[in-house]
Amino acid sequence: LYKKEKVNPMAGCLPIVVQIPVFFSLYKVLFVNIEMRHAPFYGWIHDLSAPDPTSMFNLFGLLPFTPPQMLMIGALPLMMGFTMWLQQRLNPQPADPVQAKVMMFLPVMFTFLFATFSAGLVLYWTWNNILSIAQQWIIMRKMGVQVDGQTTKSSSE
């Protein structure tokens, strides 16, 4: 592939190879570190080492009701799931229909999975998704690829 198209197939793996150690380290630091427990942050997040305390089943903390742990999907995991879905929409759809369905299901699965993770980890992943979306959008606009149904450069150029 490199000889014919001058594209290194392993170049796409570099961001995730850098990202995985950061993700595991952040998970371990937030999970084990005593100093991070009950450290104030911003807004409704009062503990970065605990899962998001809000839930859509008690109107994000407005009702005095604590839903079962399985239903504790807070605002941060929902934002993470939405940004993951949006990031996938910017990428080309897979040719295989089964793979396309799996890719559509992944944001939902990760939303439920990340609901049990610490708020700091979900916040990190959400911001990473937002930065990746912005980066992808800027690159696509500069390359003249369709963004939001609009072509940035005419195809005759």
Residue 99 lies in a domain: yes
pTM above 0.85, yes or no: no
- The answer to whether residue 153 sits within a structural domain is no
Residue 32 lies in domain: 2-143
Q: Within a domain: residue 151? A: no
Q: What is the pLDDT along the chain (157 residues), one digit of tens a residue?
A: 567 777 766 666 777 777 788 877 777 777 676 666 676 676 667 677 667 767 666 666 666 666 666 666 778 888 899 999 998 888 877 788 888 888 888 898 888 888 888 888 888 889 989 998 998 888 888 887 765 554 444 444 4
Answer whether residue 155 is part of any domain.
no
C-alpha 103: how far from its chain's center? 13
Q: At what angle do helices 75-90 and 97-114 cross, to 10 degrees?
A: 160
Q: Is residue 149 part of a domain?
A: no
67 in any annotated domain: yes
- Look at residue 154 and tell me if it is in a domain: no
Query: Residue 30 contacts by C-beta under 8 Å, 6 or more apart in sequence?
Result: 36, 48, 49, 118, 120, 121
Is residue 41, in this structure, part of any structural domain at all? yes
Residue pair 39/85 in contact by the 8 Å Cβ criterion: no
Tell me how many domains the chain contains.
1
